[in-house]
Amino acid sequence: MGSPDGAVVTSMETRLLRVPLRRPWGPDVPRVHVIVVEVTTSDGGLGTGFSWTPTIGARAVQALLDDECAAFVVGGPADPAAVWDGLWRHLHEAGGGGITTIAMAGIDLALWDLHGKRLGASLVDVLGRRRDFVEVYGSGVNLHYSLDDLVAQATRWVEAGHGAVKMKVGKPDLDEDIERVAAVREVIGPRRRLMIDANQRWDLPTARRAVAALSRFDLYWVEEPLLADATWAYAQLRAAVDVPIALGENAHTIHRFRDLLDAGACDVVQPNVVRVGGVTPFLRIASLARTYGVSVAPHLLPDLSGQLALCLPDDTLVEDVEDASFPALGCLAAPSPVAMSAGRLTADAAHVGLGLTFRPATDSE
């Protein structure tokens, strides 16, 4: 996968986009942040990637990219795998995952984009397209929604043709969670899959009670019921309940995923392609999960996660948070490489690389 003719990275530039959410994810999350990364090479190549974070650390990620990452990458090869492993070791003193891997994703994605452009092929076809479409589930960051607003959102998902939906739980009063889940199940009917996401709000005893009370609604999975780091507690919960456990959006390295899998902590892993550091580690994590017989369901970012899902060996679901795709947020200066309609995602084979062209930053950003 190395660069032809020994091409090396000659420069790397970043720009920060602060993007208002059309449907805020709560009073404290009115926007998300996209750090666009552009890498140029000695043979005139240009690759575009991105890092991403909803609330915390955007400036820190950009600073790490502009300083330590650029100093390491410029002058080196444009091979994603070779760059990723060396850069991870270089940054490890600052943390094996988190801000470091989020920053690394921008570079890794830019190099994969460059690789696809050199081959004249889309990321999907570079990796190996295994299916023509993948199912999309309607997802909502909606714990702060009133019951009426939640029901209206579930109705929109049904009208859009989604065969699976996910909602937030974790109200202080379990009876309110029961009421809200019951209302959504009534709207979507008995045949659509229903997932719930507690976003780490419960401790182990609370989770046992909540999952037992909510399981009557035929749940496809319960996501992050406990703190993401509580490996032992996840194993205990999984042994105590019948509902599949999904987690992984807050795991940042293959080592962390291996620990979760070794512990028997989950039935579904949900790597976020940016938080784990890009396409290179995402593929490694997906391969690891398959050896354990654990499903992979990419977390968020359907404009990229959907492309990866089309290449996974097993069927999966792609998450589409309502009005939070890149086109819906106005991040892009050209059409997205993926299309979502009637609960399905497809990827255009005509684009090359990642197929993501981001808009310029504004003065206010």
Active site residue ranges: 168, 299
Q: What is the dihedral of CA 271, 248, 284, 165, to 10 degrees?
A: -40
Give the type of residue at 61.
Answer: V
- State the Rg of the chain over Cα: 20
Query: Which residue from 226, 250, 102 is spatially nearest to 170, judged by alpha carbons?
Result: 226
CB 19 within 8 A of CB 57: no
Using CB atoms within 10 A of its CB, is residue 228 exposed (0-12), middle (13-18) or buried (19+)?
A: middle
Give the type of residue at 173.
Answer: D
CA–CA separation, 169 and 113 (whole Å): 37
CB 361 within 8 A of CB 15: yes
Query: Which residue from 35, 32, 31, 104 is spatially nearest to 70, judged by alpha carbons?
Result: 104
